[in-house]
Amino acid sequence: MTPADSKEFSIDELCILTDLPKRTVRYYMQIGLVDRPDGETRAARYGQRHLEQLLSVRRWTHAGLSLERVRELLDQAGQPPTVPGNRAGTVEVWSHLVVAEGVEVRLNPTIARLSLEQTRRFFAAVMSAFEQIQQEDPPV
């Protein structure tokens, strides 16, 4: 686990990152949509797992899914659901890699179910593959 993967947040930081009020975050925890924090009261700390869970719940509820349906989706071990196109006000965290002029890769690690370390490795592999292709076959 890298230091970025072990980043911890306070409830206030988590609410800012997810654009959700504390009351909503606590409600999602109370009904079991989001894991409880490590520690209690003021010592409670939230990690990347909590951030990803809240962003998923937020994305799915903003796409019009009920909390019951969100619970079903979270309980499934399969792929995340396909949600309708982005609606105004939707907040998503995307990683954007510029490989070269005219070559870009966009990735939503939450939807792809990749950790920060896996995302870094993926981007490193893309850069390596691009460089290898350029060395094998020089541009025309």
Residue 88 in any domain: the answer is no
DSSP string, 62-131: HTT--HHHHHHHHH-SSPPPP-PSP-TT-----EEEEEETTEEEEE-HHHHT--HHHHHHHHHHHHHHHH
Together in a domain, 65 and 33: yes
Together in a domain, 65 and 114: no
Query: Is 10 in contact with 45 (CB distance < 8 Å)?
Result: yes
Q: Looking at the whole model, is its pTM more than 0.85?
A: no
Query: Within 13 Å of residue 21, how many CA atoms lie on the same side as its CB?
Result: 3
Residue 44 in any domain: the answer is yes
Residue 64 in any domain: the answer is yes
The whole-number average pLDDT for the span 2-19 is 79
Task: State pLDDT tens for residues 60-100.
Answer: 888 888 898 888 888 774 445 455 556 667 667 788 899 99
Residue 1 in any domain: the answer is no
Residue 80 in any domain: the answer is no
Residue 87 in any domain: the answer is no
Return the ∠ at Cα 20 (arms to 22 and 67), rounded to 5°: 95
Task: State pLDDT tens for residues 119-129.
Answer: 889 999 999 99
Which CATH number fits the domain that encloses residue 61?
1.10.1660.10
The domain total for the chain is 2
Q: The tokens of 37 are what?
A: 């924090």
| Containing structural domain, residue 119 | 95-136
